[in-house]
Structure 1
Amino acid sequence: MENKLTKIRRTFAAQLTGKHKLKLIIPHNDSSDSIFEVFINEMFNQLHRKRTKQDEELLRESNRNSPLFIQRKQLQKDIEDFLILNKRQDARAVQEIIERVERMTMLNRKYDIREVKSISQLNTQYQSTIIPTVKMFTVSCSYRALCSELLERFDWPSELFASEYDRCFCKTCYPLTMPNVYQSNIENKYPIIIPRNWMKFGLKIDEVQAKIHQIWNKWAMSYHGTLPNAALSMIKHRQICLPGDKLLDGTHLTIRPGHIPDQKAFFTSPTIRYAAQNHYATPLEFTSQIDKCVYTAKIVLRCRQMPGSFTIQGETLNNSRINGADFCDIIPDEQIEWKTDKRGTVIFDGLCVRLTPVSNQTFHNTIYQSHANQTNVHN
């Protein structure tokens, strides 16, 4: 893990050098650690000087939507992210930065990368040169905008969300060349399966609880399909809801038709493909004001679960017998469902949204009706 963080730190420094057009020579990958430390220290100094200069210019700028304000905000975010990577104290934030750097590295491989000069060449030339080693670019993601519009329609308290941990997994933001599964670390035997074609909105969590239990290093990642009112109750309560619980809107959580009766338990899955099945994540109709199109919307909670607190079991939707194929090509059906009745062993760190365009279909559920019609929902 230490070697990976070192490589990520070097790559991130090179990306920031190109992005902010710093006057630096980027070392070759095989350069020594001491050479890279000299490079990184100078990069950091230049970023701070650039920020100071922008602050002086902003004193004369009144339009907060100007490009200068946007550049200053992005520069500050990059500086803070690099500090997080240096300190390595916030495991969740470090993992997000690692994914960001790896994603940008994969995207940049599609574009021409200019030849870079080594530190030894710098010593012979005695001059600084702007080396745009990578072409940094921003992709405007329409899918993210649509999912954000849906979330705004729910009208949930903004205090629940941690936007710095938002992540889009559409084909543009997370290309097919990126891996489908990660192994988080040696302390966690459970794989992280990427929720392709979903948008994940970060949720605020209890950082004290996270630190005490080391959830980012040791707890398994899973998904739980549900409906908006049940999701809101669980996020606000910061704990799972079991059948029989009274939700914030006054309704009682009951077992929906088609589910196993008398099962007072909470079910999750390591793959979102199973958690998003209609039995769990009931589809809702959503009409966007952005593009005037109609979509089928689903929401799934991303969870962190304490190892040893859940039972791993086979699927209960009879998919194999009906379709003759597993739900997921990574997790077999015999291990695809996790069951627990232990409160306090599940933490919600993300709300996942998926939109699918509707073609020649009519749905009775709408995003506006969902709050009124969800009197019988299963967790």
Structure 2
Amino acid sequence: MSESGRSYYAYGRTWRGHPGTRHDTSFTSGLVREVRLAKHSRYKCEYQRRCARFRDSLGLQEDVFFPERDMCYCPSCHEERRDIEIYQRGNPPKPYVLPLGWSRFALKVPLPQVKLPRGGTVAAFDSWQMCFHGTLRDNVKPIVETGGLRRPGDDISGGTLSQRNGHYNEEWKPEGFDTLQVFVSPSIRYSSKDAYSSPYTWRDRTGQMYKVRSAFQARIRPGSYSIGPTTLHHVRRDERIDPIYKNNEIEWSTKHVDAIMLYGLLIKIEPCS
């Protein structure tokens, strides 16, 4: 049988493989396994050190971070760990594709607004599903200082959260669609689209210019959100955004801001062409 047709058993369900990917078949707690891996990868490579310098430029307080769970997903660190690329996370489980090419700076959890299940943070890591939220560089600090994600129109540190162009808003949306929700995605590819995570031009201390994108890695409570199609303006009908998630299931929305637990700031840096 070809690699693309192989079945994998992970977290109590069968998952169809995809070419060039490896899958999790262990039952180790997601939180415990991530801590173990992170201890072996902290600031080992220049890419993560560069991302850390950008993170430091954001003006965040050091006490919001949890360095023991930092993780670099650059190609060299990923290969050195011999890590897999696709996990199953949550109950019921959903595919979680690692944010390859990004570097994660872990946040202390939970932030104040999160309503945790019985069993606390560990229970949330074992039962809540993985998602991402792309954002602008200037929004990172207000989101962290506010305590988590907010809906358009809500007050955040330094002002009121507005709706950006490039995806559904009050002026451009299907009839009856509620845009006053929090939008996340199980796909980092989708979350890093320009409408969510526009690149920011940044000069490193070396003088080199880079394009930087930012996003949050999070857990979302099962049953608290709706699954729907992309809300972006410029997506062709024949364009497949993510190899795992179809375009009609790539956007998750919720009005429950206490159902999303941010636990990592993701940064991706590429040289300016």
Same fold (TM over 0.5): yes
Q: Is the contact made by 2:89 and 2:130 (CA closer than 8 Å) also made in structure 1?
A: no
Alignment match, 1:234: 143
- Match for 2:195 among 276, 279, 302? 279
- With normalisation by structure 1, the TM-score equals 0.56
Consecutive unaligned residues of structure 2, counting only runs of 5 or more, are 1-9, 11-27, 171-178
Aligned to 1:260: 168
Q: 1:301 aligned to 212, 216, 219, which one?
A: 216
Report the structure, 1 or 2, having the larger strand content: 2
Please tell me whether residue 337 in structure 1 is matched to residue 251 in structure 2. Answer: yes
Give the Cα separation in 1 of the matches to 2:187 and 2:69. 20
Alignment partner, residue 346 of structure 1: 260
TM-aligned CA deviation for residue 237 of structure 1: 2.8
SS at match of 2:93: strand
Question: How many pairs were matched up?
Answer: 233
Q: Deviations over 1:179-228 (max 9, x none)?
A: 3211136x341122100000000000139936337211110110001123
Percent of matched pairs sharing the same residue = 25
> In structure 1, how many angstroms separate the alpha carbons of the residues matched to 2:43 and 2:57?
24
Runs of at least 5 residues in structure 1 that lack an aligned partner in the other structure? 5-87, 105-137, 360-379
Q: Does the CA-based 8 Å contact 2:143-2:157 persist in structure 1?
A: no
- Cα distance in 1 for residues equivalent to 2:34 and 2:216: 18
CA RMSD of aligned residues (A): 2.7
Judged with a 3 Å threshold, the aligned counterparts in structure 2 of structure 1 residues 194 and 319 are, in CA distance, closer, same or farther, namely farther
The whole-number CA distance in structure 1 between the counterparts of 2:38 and 2:271 is: 28
Question: Secondary structure at the residue paired with 1:154?
Answer: coil
Alpha-carbon offset, residue 257 of structure 1: 2.2
Runs of 4+ in 1 over 6 A off after TM superposition: none
Could you say which structure has the higher helix fraction? 1
Asked if structure 2 preserves the Cα contact closer than 8 Å seen for 1:319 and 1:325, the reply is: no
CA distance in structure 1 between the partners assigned to 2:72 and 2:43 by the alignment = 12
State the partner residue of 1:198: 102
Secondary structure of the residue that 1:232 maps to in structure 2?
A: helix
Summarize deviations over 1:312-332 as a string: whole Å, max 9, x none: 11112256526x331111111
Structure-1 residue corresponding to 2:45: 141
- Structure 2 vs 1, CA of residues 302 and 244 (structure 1 numbering), >3 Å: closer, same or farther? same
- Please tell me the residue identity of whatever aligns with 1:253: L
CA distance in 1, matches of 2:49, 2:62: 16
Is the contact made by 1:319 and 1:326 (CA closer than 8 Å) also made in structure 2?
Answer: no
Deviation at residue 97 of structure 1 after TM alignment? 4.0
Cα distance between partner residues in 2 of 1:158 and 1:183: 31
Asked which structure has the greater RCO (Cα within 8 Å, sep 6+), the reply is 2
Alignment of 1:209 with 2:124, yes or no, is no
The reply on whether 1:169 has 2:73 as its aligned counterpart is yes
- Aligned with 2:86 (options 160, 181, 187): 181
Query: In structure 2, do the counterparts of structure 1 residues 297 and 100 end up closer, same or farther at CA, with 3 Å as the change threshold?
Result: closer
Q: Go from structure 1 to structure 2 and tell me whether the alpha carbon gap of 1:254 and 1:242 turns closer, same or farther (over 3 Å shift).
A: same
- The answer on whether the counterparts of 1:227 and 1:282 sit within 8 Å (CA) in structure 2 is yes
* CA displacement 1:325-354 (0-9 Å, x = unmatched): 311111111111101111200010000000
Structure 1 stretch displaced more, 346-355 or 92-101:
92-101
